[in-house]
Amino acid sequence: MLLHDLNSATDDEARAVLAPCVRIDSWAETLAAGRPWPDASALLTAARAQAASWSDAEVEAALADHPRIGERPTGPGASADMSRSEQSGVSQDDGTAARLADGNRRYEERFDRIYLVRAAGRSAEEMLALLEERLGNDDATEAAVVKQQLGEIAVLRLAALVADDPTGATVEG
């Protein structure tokens, strides 16, 4: 989608476009309300700033929209499509799948939430190493890491979703 299209959408249409990036209503509402964006860079900067303001409760609720690492989302919709694409590089050999399942189980026992990591651009081995490292975090540190990872995921999804006008035209705001 071109940024021009997001800028000219109705508020409801803009929120609907932004919502699959992360299941946090305040994020989509703030970004929709901030239109018109002069360029994609300004939109992404605002998206990062908004992500930094998320509450622990918002982050926890948003985790329900993410599959476990190594598991394929089965539901319909743009968010599930994004997750499938992000996890496309995760190896599906039996050994890796078993290690991911075991790591997910240990993480959930330790932190009582799913293990969330930005999968885009990472191999299964990298995600497993990060999982092992994060199992040593205290609760507050891990909550901050989860928030940061969720923010990275949301911004990467947004960057893939919205592009500047190819003519280079910008919006004066």
Q: What is the CATH number of the domain that holds 67?
A: 1.10.3330.10
Instruction: Evaluate whether residue 76 is within a structural domain.
Output: yes
* Closest C-alpha among 41, 70, 2, 69 to residue 155: 41
Instruction: Evaluate whether residue 170 is within a structural domain.
Output: no
* Neighbour-count burial for 23-61, b at 16+ CB within 10 Å, e otherwise: bbeebbbbbbeebebebbebbbebbeebbeebeeebbee
Instruction: Evaluate whether residue 135 is within a structural domain.
Output: yes
Please state the domain count of the chain.
1
pLDDT at position 150 is: 97
pLDDT at position 25 is: 96
61/7 Cα distance (integer angstroms): 28
Instruction: Evaluate whether residue 168 is within a structural domain.
Output: no
Task: State the residue for tokens 């990298």.
Answer: 126
Q: Which distant-in-sequence residues (6+ apart) come within 8 Å of 172 by Cβ? A: 38
Q: Which residue has the higher pLDDT, 167 or 100?
A: 100
pLDDT at position 77 is: 53
105/1 Cα distance (integer angstroms): 38
Instruction: Evaluate whether residue 70 is within a structural domain.
Output: yes
Instruction: Evaluate whether residue 171 is within a structural domain.
Output: no
Residue 171: helix, strand or coil by DSSP? coil
Q: In this predicted model, what pLDDT tens digit does every residue of 93-134 receive, in sequence order?
A: 788 889 999 999 999 999 999 999 999 889 889 999 999 999
pLDDT at position 113 is: 95
- Checking if the pLDDT of 15 tops 50, the result is yes
Domain containing 28: what range? 3-161
Q: Which pLDDT band holds residue 76 (cuts at 50, 70, 90)?
A: low
Q: Which pLDDT band holds residue 80 (cuts at 50, 70, 90)?
A: very low
Q: In this predicted model, what pLDDT tens digit does every residue of 25-55 receive, in sequence order?
A: 999 999 999 999 999 999 999 999 999 999 9
Distances (CA, A) of 104 to 16, 28, 33, 164: 31, 29, 37, 38
Q: Which pLDDT band holds residue 6 (cuts at 50, 70, 90)?
A: very high
Instruction: Evaluate whether residue 36 is within a structural domain.
Output: yes
Q: How far apart are the first and last CA of the chain?
A: 20
- State which amino acid sits at residue 22: V
Mean pLDDT is lowest, of 2-6, 122-126, 169-173, for 169-173
Q: Which residue has the higher pLDDT, 142 or 98?
A: 142
Full-model pTM:
0.83
Instruction: Evaluate whether residue 59 is within a structural domain.
Output: yes
Q: Which pLDDT band holds residue 11 (cuts at 50, 70, 90)?
A: very high
